[in-house]
Structure 1
């Protein structure tokens, strides 16, 4: 088998839906294996789990090799961030988890094998790419949210520290308390405690909740949804362009075939 045949065979395996589902199943089994090892397990069963972990690592290694062989341009295979991530995870997973100074790194990397689900499933990749693309816009929203947090924390420390120094002792503790208020974790207990001294302190809490929970968080959701829609539109445009190119290539091939047939049917010149 030459290189072209090996590449074609690798592409057929890589694009096979059953192979993709098999890899997803192995990733799920790997995640369950990580969870199982957190329990107290008898030594004989632990040996079985270790052998299973080794088998999973070998399967991942074979899958990476297939994807590498299927790549049209081998030099550009690692230009893709997901390919680089998957390769690093698999290679580092080859480190023995026992009797080695690198055992801790090996165990940590095995935990990150669950993230390979994102690189395998296109929909998850799109979600993560959308989130990463939204980070620049989210940065300004988060900065403004931090400013609001800081202002309210300073006000809370100034007025409420004599009431409860555990919740309002300094500005950092006050920010943690405000996070508790924003997530509605028994926030009414905090409010009623300060209202016993400052009856109008409910304005402080309600205005903070309105600005953070209702306003800023909805802005964050809106930005992520907007970027996700742009990602879908871009992917659809690329797919339509690829389909259009394929159609033009097919049409050009048919024209060449017709031209060749017409040339064959023309009588020879005397």
Structure 2
């Protein structure tokens, strides 16, 4: 087996994936401990060593992947994702770029590319983006219309919530998330008792309709992703079964070719497949009358028949 194929097989093993996952989790924990002044004071050197060791492991993994996969490395978006995160960790953190030290925590995001379940979720979300575009436009239109109406109706009653269009947009967005929407509504209803119609209609449309459409699109994308993976798994299983059947057919064909050859190469084999020695000793003697039965028995019977015939005469 070539070296590249052997390395590729090692990279795809579950043990190696579990090892990389463990390194990512440990590195994320050490980066979290670095935010504690007490932990840095006591274990600062150990945390730094672990951080550098994890970075070296990630760089070595990417180098091995690049060598094993060749140009196919750049066709996999998850490989590019990992390369971008590791490259950001390699940037200098001194001087004006010291803020980049905070980007080291991005290494924890590598769990997305390592854990298959997380990878499926992110892939489904990215697949759902085109379908979510129309829903975002619909939500923006509803927010804009409601903000204009709220500004015109309640800017004098509650200027801190509906004083102008940007303030009304932020207030309605806050209400859409469910944050203190009842307090805002009651404050406006003290001056405008009929305001509940506006706010209830807005909450029903945005919270119970538009946001549920987001969920529906994401769930549909996840189902399609799961169905596609099932089809790929079935196709892979079919290819494996066909390969095994082809191997079995080749073995059966070889066995069929070996059986006649084994029959024809036996010692002393006659044309009819019986041993030649027996045929010469028994059948040959009987046929030619030179065997025990042919010369003794058959030859003695003929004179006896003549005596009997003579007596009858």
Asked if TM exceeds 0.5, the reply is yes
* Secondary structure of 2:37's aligned partner: coil
Q: Which has the larger radius of gyration?
A: 2
Equivalent residue runs for 1:68-147 within 5 Å = 68-71=66-69, 74-97=70-93, 99-105=94-100, 107-147=101-141
1:175 is matched with 169
Q: 1:215, 1:95 → 2: CA distance?
A: 45
- Are residues 88 and 189 of structure 1, via their aligned partners in 2, closer, same or farther at CA, if it must alter by over 3 Å? closer
Match of 2:48 among 41, 50, 61: 50
Residue pair 1:6, 1:69 contacting (<8 A) in 2 also: no
2:198 is matched with 204
Match of 2:228 among 223, 226, 234: 234
Q: 1:38, 1:168 → 2: CA distance?
A: 40
Q: 1:108, 1:40 → 2: CA distance?
A: 16
Pairwise CA RMSD = 2.2
TM-score (structure 1 length as normaliser) = 0.89
Structure 1 residue 173: Cα displacement: 1.1
Unaligned runs of 5+ in 1: none
Deviation per residue, 1:226-267 (Å, 9 max, x gap): 111111111001110110011111111111122122223334
Structure 1 residue 37: Cα displacement: 2.1
Structure 1 residue 70: Cα displacement: 4.2
Match of 2:59 among 54, 61, 64: 61
Deviation per residue, 1:2-26 (Å, 9 max, x gap): xx44334423432332322221122
* Secondary structure of 2:194's aligned partner: helix
Q: 1:192, 1:126 → 2: CA distance?
A: 44
2:29 is matched with 32
Q: Does 1:261 align with 2:259?
A: no
- Are residues 234 and 60 of structure 1, via their aligned partners in 2, closer, same or farther at CA, if it must alter by over 3 Å? same
Residue pair 1:13, 1:19 contacting (<8 A) in 2 also: yes
Q: Does 1:11 align with 2:8?
A: yes
TM-score (structure 2 length as normaliser) = 0.78
Quick one: higher RCO (CA 8 Å, sep 6+), 1 or 2? 1
Q: 1:96, 1:25 → 2: CA distance?
A: 26
Q: 1:247, 1:68 → 2: CA distance?
A: 31
* Secondary structure of 1:197's aligned partner: coil
Q: 1:16, 1:245 → 2: CA distance?
A: 21
Q: 2:171, 2:71 → 1: CA distance?
A: 52
Structure 1 residue 67: Cα displacement: 3.2
Q: 2:82, 2:228 → 1: CA distance?
A: 25
